[in-house]
Amino acid sequence: MKRTHQYRFEGTGFSTIPQLIQHHFSTKQVITKKSGVVLLNPVVKDKKWILNHEDVTLGELLGKGNFGEVFKGTLQRDKTAVAVKTCKEDLPPELKIRFLSEARILKQYDHPNIVKLIGVCTQRQPIYIVMELVPGGDFLSFLRKKKDELKTKQLVRFAVDAAAGMAYLESKNCIHRDLAARNCLVGDGNLLKISDFGMSRQEDDGVYSSSGLKQIPIKWTAPEALNYGRYSSESDVWSYGILLWETFSLGVCPYPGMTNQQAREQVEKGFRMSCPQRCPDDVYRVMQRCWQYNPEDRPKFCELQRDLAAVKRK
């Protein structure tokens, strides 16, 4: 409909109809009944995941993500506490698509060690991704805050949880690409959950080639991903080894005293981080297997889960 010499359905107006169509094609923004538009061939959506903005009340600010702010919120239907990721309204359409890609990935998964999607609000700006609220917050902050209280046995349990979540993703051909303590959450009973799927990809052959990826987490990323842009479950295994090191060093930044470039150069020369003080020898051997230079020599996540569960039982 045309208002003030602009064409719009809901939200942003455009001076021409092609611009309006391109906007909705690029952003995948839903056109609802509120616009008054009758669609001749409507796309049937999975209603389970569709929420209205009015269904969610925003509360305190929890932090800031790559695409916008994260709030604590409340679902109006049953007063459930949730986490709400918001997308900045001024982001270009391609980044808004990337923002929603996390929800498209998460809606396929159901595992205790993977953060759960509740729904998305796309009818108007800002776009919301609504997820379960994990009360313990991010794992990195948790480690640093609780470092004087955490026992080695609990650290091993965290390691098993992370391996279980990643083994599930591996079985689904999902490549996380940004596995790190900062991207895990601690739930009730100290249950660890893998989170932050903003960089994730699901590939039929389990390999994703990237060119021009920005803001690569150098110290967590496998050599073949840094050098050739090749991501796979094996590159996630390398990152898992770094996550293990973070866990048993109680939140110390990897490769202490080194810049990103220095760490990258040293890894190419064969350097690997030493065993953290609190780390059992069995777990450090697992780390070393994760850091094999050849991706094919690294273990599968199902093997890591099995081996660390055996350490946990000791």
Say if residue 164's pLDDT is above 60.
yes
pLDDT digits (tens, 9 = 90+) for 185-203: 999 999 999 998 766 666 5
Helix (H, G, I), strand (E, B) or coil at 134: coil
171-175, 195-199, 238-242: least confident range: 195-199
Average pLDDT, the chain: 88
Contact 139, 181 (CB under 8 A): yes
**196 appears as a binding residue in the annotation:** yes
Cα distance between residue 307 and residue 275, in whole Å: 18
Say if residue 176's pLDDT is above 90.
yes
Check residue 34 and give its pLDDT: 56
Check residue 208 and give its pLDDT: 46
Q: Could you give the percent of the chain with pLDDT greater than 90?
A: 67
Residue with the bigger pLDDT between 171 and 20: it is 171
Check residue 298 and give its pLDDT: 99
Say if residue 92's pLDDT is above 60.
yes
Mean pLDDT of 46-60: 89
pLDDT digits (tens, 9 = 90+) for 109-147: 999 999 999 999 988 899 999 999 999 999 999 999 999
Q: Does residue 126 have a cis peptide bond before it, meaning omega lies within 30 degrees of 0? A: yes
Active site members: 178
Q: Which DSSP string do the residues of 23-38 spell out, in sequence order?
A: HHHHH-PPP-GGGT--
Say if residue 3's pLDDT is above 70.
no
Contact 148, 91 (CB under 8 A): no
Say if residue 39's pLDDT is above 60.
no
pTM summary value: 0.82
**What token pair was written down for 31?**
């056109």
Say if residue 246's pLDDT is above 90.
yes
> What is the crossing angle of helices 152-171 and 301-313, to 10°?
160
**182 appears as a binding residue in the annotation:** yes
Return phi, psi of residue 241, to 5°. Answer: -60, -40
27-36, 207-216, 219-228: least confident range: 207-216
Mean pLDDT of 162-175: 96
Check residue 213 and give its pLDDT: 44
Contact 82, 75 (CB under 8 A): yes
pLDDT digits (tens, 9 = 90+) for 263-278: 999 999 999 999 999 9
Mean pLDDT of 20-47: 60
Q: Which domains does the chain have, with CATH numbers?
A: 48-132 (3.30.200.20), 139-313 (1.10.510.10)
Say if residue 78's pLDDT is above 70.
yes
Q: Please, which pLDDT band fits residue 41 given cuts at 50, 70 and 90?
A: very low
Check residue 42 and give its pLDDT: 45
Cα distance between residue 75 and residue 69, in whole Å: 18
Check residue 43 and give its pLDDT: 46
Check residue 70 and give its pLDDT: 92
Check residue 169 and give its pLDDT: 96
Q: Which residues of 86-117 are buried (b: 16+ CB within 10 A; e: fewer)?
A: bbbeebeeeebebbbbbbbbbbebebebbbeb
